[in-house]
């Protein structure tokens, strides 16, 4: 069965620090990959996604993620975080495994100190 | 405005009672989903439906039931058989259930269910 692992459950950074959140998935076939974000008090929304083409994907608010097929990874990056990036981040995988469904990782809570 | 509406936002249930959470979408999406969000466990898929009158079990379907009689509606019933029902429930939808467009999932605001 497909699964998604997020390496860090809690991350604390100071403003202007660089961010990288790890995400690995277990499925050998074609996948679509997503990062969703949940800001405090708001509902989940899409940050960025990959489904074909350039493996380096750019999303909103300066975030990007790189799909490395050989490593089954889709890490999220931002060169300089802001206090407003404080949120919970979820990696998700969608694979055609004979029944369509999107599986989410456990989430990473990011706290950015002003 | 287009979107996904979940109701109620907060619900208290006595042990042994069934309760139904409503989810309506006006995005004309084919696929709809129910997830449960627990701290430290992320989102876990309960049920999903790719088309009307069809639905599939997710990873934690035991103690839950759904129906999909209309495209825009996907209610979730939490039955008394669900051993740990207190949680935050999220309904979602996407354009289609396949892989063609790398479809994005759109979420509702969620429903908090507490069993007392």
Q: What is the pLDDT along chain A (114 residues), one digit of tens a residue?
A: 678 999 889 999 999 999 999 999 998 778 889 999 999 988 899 999 998 889 999 999 999 999 999 999 999 999 999 999 999 999 998 876 555 678 889 999 999 998
Residue B101 reports pLDDT greater than 70: no
On whether any CB of chain B is under 8 Å from the CB of A114, the answer is: no
Least Cα separation, residue B41 to chain A (angstroms): 5
Radius of gyration of chain A (CA): 14
Say yes or no to pLDDT of B12 above 80: yes
Give SS3 for B104: coil
Gap from A97 CA to chain B (nearest CA, Å): 11
Of B35, B41, B50, the CB nearest to A100: B50
Give the distance, in angstroms, between the CA of residue B106 and the centroid of all CA atoms in the same chain: 12
């Amino acid at each position: 069965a497909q699964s998604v692992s997020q390496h860090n459950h809690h991350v604390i950074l100071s403003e202007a620090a660089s961010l990288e959140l790890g995400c690995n998935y277990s499925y050998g076939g074609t996948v679509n990959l997503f990062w969703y974000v949940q800001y405090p008090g708001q509902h989940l929304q899409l940050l960025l996604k990959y489904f074909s083409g350039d493996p380096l994907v750019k999303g909103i608010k300066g975030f990007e993620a790189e799909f490395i097929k050989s490593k089954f990874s889709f890490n999220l990056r931002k060169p300089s975080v802001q206090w407003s990036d404080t949120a919970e981040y979820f990696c998700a995988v969608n694979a055609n495994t004979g029944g369509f469904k999107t599986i989410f990782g456990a989430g990473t809570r990011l706290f950015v100190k002003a | 405005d287009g979107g996904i509406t979940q109701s109620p936002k907060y619900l208290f249930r006595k042990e042994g009672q069934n309760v139904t959470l409503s989810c309506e979408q006006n995005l004309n999406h084919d696929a709809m989903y129910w997830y449960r969000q627990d701290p430290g466990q992320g989102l876990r898929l309960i049920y999903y439906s790719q088309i009307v009158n069809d639905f599939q079990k997710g990873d934690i379907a035991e103690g839950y039931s759904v129906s999909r009689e209309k495209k825009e509606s996907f209610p979730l019933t939490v039955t008394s058989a669900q051993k740990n029902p207190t949680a935050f429930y999220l309904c979602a939808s996407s354009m289609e259930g396949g892989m063609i467009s790398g479809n994005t999932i759109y979420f509702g605001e969620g429903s908090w269910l507490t069993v007392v």
